[in-house]
Structure formats: structure tokens, C-alpha cells
Amino acid sequence: MRYDADLNFVYAHTPKVAFGVNVVADLGTYAGEMGLSKAVVITDSFLAEKTDLLDRVKQTLGPLLAGVFTGVIPDPTAASMDAGAVYAGEQGADSLISLGGGSAIDTAKGIAVVLKEGGKILDHEGYHALEGPQTPHIAIPTTAGTGSEMTMVTVIKDPERKQKTFIGSFHLHPNLAILDPTLLTGLPPKLTAATGMDAMSHAVECQISSLGQPVSDAYGIEAIRIITNYLPRCLEKPDDLLARGRMQIAANMAGTAFSNAMCSLNHAMAHTLGARHGVHHGTANAILLPHTMRYFMDVSAVEFARVAVAMGIDTSGMSAEEAGNKAADQMEQFVEAIGLTDRLGDYGVTEDALAGLADVAMTDGTIIYSPKPVFEPQDIVEILRKVL
């Protein structure tokens, strides 16, 4: 049994979630009920200029809108967060509304900290250093992947150190998450697949994390089941609001699960590949996940056997290890079936780079929650080599 009488945990997540078709139209009402009066929207230039999503948010906010910051970039840097904080401060913002994927939500979290605490964002890196509530934040995800609208972490790319760092605090949870399936129908297929697999990785990794507990297990397993059934449907029928909505719910559940249980080696490698070679975070997680599962099979076969069942595999008569290996094989086939056939070489990663990538991954904060200690960088090299 994974848990015994000594089980002890704290479970926390974003206080309120509003889900439904066109629920974004209620944003102004929610903001008013929260007492907000000068909200700055945090988004990226593509959403602002090439879609109608920002206009929909502006319309519902009306006079509560104080400004729009469009400087969100993929894998947000400390500089981009600091720039957003300067802009929001100049507008006299009393609140933030993030509109976009995980990068927008993480950027808003960083801005919220700087507005409240002062200084620069990297002055506050680390876990549980924030002593009180931060600037109010409403998160509106336009992808179904990161689950950042439910998490206590913001991920920050630091180009000078060539790695990603973090701020983690229960005070970083957004005050409200708005999940509207109509915001996702224009998401391109590859981004749909990659962000969906980010959520899948969250859900799987929280099953084996050293901080896992029954609540995160339950959320994660249900997220795996939903993603297995509905991510392919989103790719086949992009306008299917039922499928898009189910994926939002799965990403949301996986986000709150891993925010409490944390991730492990798979995310440590993905963070490093994103920081050093610009590999999309969801894509990196997707292509690495089956191999990470096999690496941990000797200590997590029972957990991976549960994953197999959630993926629809008939495990009758199988040992835990047999079922777990079936899950890893099925995961690899699933990743290929949804079109994520990238190799690290596509991003300029060479054999000579693997040792350096492994060394950096060894320092990533998520690796410490792996189900067994990862002592040897060469183990990471071997995993990375499989997807080179």
C-alpha cells in the first residue's frame, strides 16, 4: 500500500472555478463581485491582434478595464514579467486578468508578485517565501494543458543562467479560473496535442511523486481517462465544444493534482529542453513521458498499472509490471497517434549536448519529487538519447 497511518498532507488550489460555454461573458460580473475596479489584461500579441478573444474580454469588463499588456512571450522570462509589472503599475492596476495559455497565466502570477512585493521578479524566487495574498488575479486559459489556473507555481525562464526557475506559494493561486470551451476552438492541432500532453504528463507524474496523496491520485487518474478519450476527438473535430470542454476540465484537474503532488524527472528534463533549446514544453513532456515511465517501472509499477486502466487497457491477469509496461507502450503509441513525432534533433540538440542538459536537469526543482532518487546524470542522458 502506498499510504499508511502516517499519511499527512495539505491540499490547496484556486478557490473558485467557473465552467461553461460562453461563461467568459460573465467575467465583468465576477470582477465586480470581487470589488475590482482597475483590471489590466495580460495576454500576447497574437491573441490580441489575430483573434476576437481580447475583444470579448474587453466587452464584458467595460469600465473595469484599466489597460492591456500584450508582452507575454512563450516560456516567459524574468524581463517580460518585470516589464508587465511596470506597465500594470503605471495603469494603477488593482487586479490582473490573464488571457492565454500557461505563459500568460504564469506571467500574470509574476506580475502579481512584483506589484504587491516590489523589486524584481527574481528577488522572490523559491518556495513559500510570500507571506500574504498577492494582487487579485482572474485566469482565463485558452489552452487545455498547463493547468496553471489552478497551481501555486509560476515558471520563469532565466536566459542568463540558461535554465528555468520558480516561485511557489499558496498565495499564487488565482482567485478565479474561468473555463470557457469556446475560447479553444481556434487552437491549432499541434498546439492542441502538445498542451493536452502537458496535462497528461502532470496527471501521470503526480501518480508517482513522493508527495502524492489520495486526492491528487484521484484527480490525476480521472484526468488521464478524459485526455485519452477526448484529446483525439479535439484533433478530429476542433469545433466540438463537448470535447474541448472535457479537455479543459482534465487540464484543470491535472493542474491541481500536480500543484499539490508535484511532478518529477519528466518535467525536469522538459524544463531544461525548453530553457536551452526552445523545445515546446508540452511536446518535450510528450515525447519523454513513455521513457520516463519505463525508467521508474521498478519502483512504480503499481501506479503505472492504474494508469493502464485509466487509458482503457484490459489488465486482467497481468502483473503490475506487465500492466505498467503496457501503459508505457500505449502512451508512446498515443503520442505518435496525435502527431507529436518530434525528435530532439529537430531542435538542434546533438549528442554532445546531452551531458550538459542532464547536468542542468539534475538541478531542476521537480526532480526531487521523483519516486526514486536520480543520482546519475548518465541516467538522464540515456533517456534523452532515446528521443534524439
Q: What is the CATH number of the domain that holds 240?
A: 1.20.1090.10
Asked whether residue 349 is assigned to any structural domain, the reply reads: yes
Tens of pLDDT, residues 65-82: 999 999 999 999 999 999
Asked whether residue 9 is assigned to any structural domain, the reply reads: no
Same domain, 26 and 169: yes
Residues in a beta bridge with 85 = none
Grid cell, residue 102, equals 500557461
Q: What integer pLDDT is reported at residue 158 of this predicted model?
A: 87
What is the full DSSP assignment across 335-386?
HHHTT----GGGGT--GGGHHHHHHHHTTSGGGGGSSS----HHHHHHHHHH
Same domain, 334 and 284: yes
Same domain, 154 and 235: no
**Structural domains of the chain, count:** 2
Same domain, 200 and 174: no
Same domain, 41 and 109: yes
Grid cell, residue 377, equals 546524470
Same domain, 302 and 370: yes
Grid cell, residue 252, equals 484543470
Question: In the listed set 183, 202, 217, which residue is the last one of a domain according to the structure?
Answer: 183
Which residue range(s) make up the domain with 372? 189-386
The long-range contacts involving 234-242, CB below 8 angstroms and separated by at least 24 positions, are 234/144, 234/184, 234/192, 234/196, 235/189, 235/192, 235/193, 235/338, 235/339, 238/185, 238/186, 238/187, 238/189, 238/192, 239/185, 241/21, 241/181, 241/182, 241/185, 242/181
Question: In the listed set 156, 183, 210, which residue is the last one of a domain according to the structure?
Answer: 183
Question: In the listed set 133, 151, 183, which residue is the last one of a domain according to the structure?
Answer: 183
Same domain, 378 and 240: yes
Q: What integer pLDDT is reported at residue 159 of this predicted model?
A: 87
Asked whether residue 259 is assigned to any structural domain, the reply reads: yes
Tens of pLDDT, residues 98-147: 999 999 999 999 999 999 999 999 999 998 899 999 999 999 999 999 99
Q: What integer pLDDT is reported at residue 1 of this predicted model?
A: 57
Tens of pLDDT, residues 276-288: 999 999 999 999 9
Residues in a beta bridge with 98 = 42, 139
Q: What is the CATH number of the domain that holds 121?
A: 3.40.50.1970
Same domain, 171 and 193: no
Same domain, 101 and 208: no
Grid cell, residue 10, equals 495539505
Reported pTM? 0.96
Instruction: State the average pLDDT over residues 172-177.
Output: 98
DSSP for residue 22? T
Q: What integer pLDDT is reported at residue 258 of this predicted model?
A: 95
Give the sheet arrangement for strand 163-168, strand by strand: 126-127, 163-168, 153-158
